[in-house]
């Protein structure tokens, strides 16, 4: 298992030639005067960041050879704020333009517009709208474990047994006390 993991990690390492070109663009590492843990080696951090970006895994799922997921995420945020990735992208574009050439006049952005999944019908009710409750359409006497007593425990009488109309609202303790007084048990 360890040898398989080692080869997987090695396949995601940055080649030496590429590292030599990237290293000068990275911010200089200074150890904190307050102490604490020493900073991670920058090549290890960059390997870990590219591992996450290439595989799409979660930060916490990064192999430990690259460092902890929280440390890598902290470096990623710090480098993103400092514009490190923008500099890398600009230098790569500049180099590609010098060697092969980019026809800047014919550049475009690719995109598509599609309907969102589970978005509901246009101008229709949303399938799970904010005003809709879970199990809203099911009556209380239709539950398999509900008021009929098949659940094995005590149960509340249904609205049909209490004679209460389906008003759809709850008016508090007073109406509950009145319902209890007028409820007549039904034997089944």
Q: Which residue has the higher pLDDT, 110 or 103?
A: 103
Which residue is associated with the tokens 């099911």? 138
In the numeric block, the tokens 């026809």 are attached to 103
- Whether 107 and 41 have beta carbons less than 8 Å apart is answered as no
pLDDT (tens digit, 9 = 90+) per residue, 52-92?
A: 989 999 999 999 999 999 999 999 999 999 999 999 999 99
Chain segment 110-162, per-residue pLDDT in tens: 777 777 666 556 665 555 555 555 555 555 565 555 555 454 555 565 555 55
Angle subtended by helix axes 42-55 and 69-81, to nearest 10: 90
Long-range interactions of 79-83: CB distance < 8 A, separation 24+: 79/26, 79/27, 79/49, 82/27
Identify whether the C-beta of residue 150 lies closer than 8 Å to the C-beta of residue 143.
no
Q: Which pTM was predicted? A: 0.52
What DSSP string runs through the chain?
Answer: -HHHHHHHHHHTSPPHHHHHHHGGGSPPP---TT--SPPPPHHHHHHHHHHHHHH---GGGS-GGG--HHHHHHHHHHHHHTTHHHHHHHHHHHHHHHHT---GGG--------PPTT---TTS--TT-TTPPTTTTS-GGGSTTSTTTTTSS--PPPHHHHT---------HHHHHHHHHH------
The 10 Å Cβ neighbour count of residue 11 is: 8
Q: How many CB atoms lie within 10 A of CB 35?
A: 7
Does the pLDDT of residue 19 top 80, yes or no? yes
């Amino acid at each position: 298992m360890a040898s398989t993991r080692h080869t997987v990690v090695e396949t995601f390492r940055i080649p030496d030639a590429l590292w030599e070109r990237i290293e000068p663009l990275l911010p200089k590492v200074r150890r904190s005067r307050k102490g604490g843990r020493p900073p991670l080696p920058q090549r290890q951090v960059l390997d870990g960041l590219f591992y996450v970006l290439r595989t799409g895994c979660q930060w916490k799922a990064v192999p430990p050879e690259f460092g902890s997921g929280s440390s890598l995420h902290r470096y990623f945020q710090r480098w993103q704020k400092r514009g490190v990735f923008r500099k890398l992208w600009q230098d790569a574009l500049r180099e590609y333009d010098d060697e092969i050439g980019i026809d800047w006049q014919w550049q475009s952005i690719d995109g598509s517009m599609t309907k969102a999944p589970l978005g509901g019908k246009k101008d229709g009710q949303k399938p799970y709208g904010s005003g809709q409750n879970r199990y809203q359409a099911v009556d209380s006497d239709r539950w398999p474990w509900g008021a009929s007593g098949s659940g094995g425990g005590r149960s509340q009488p249904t609205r049909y047994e209490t004679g209460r109309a389906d008003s759809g609202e709850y008016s508090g303790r007073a109406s509950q006390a009145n319902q209890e007084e007028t409820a007549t048990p039904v034997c089944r």
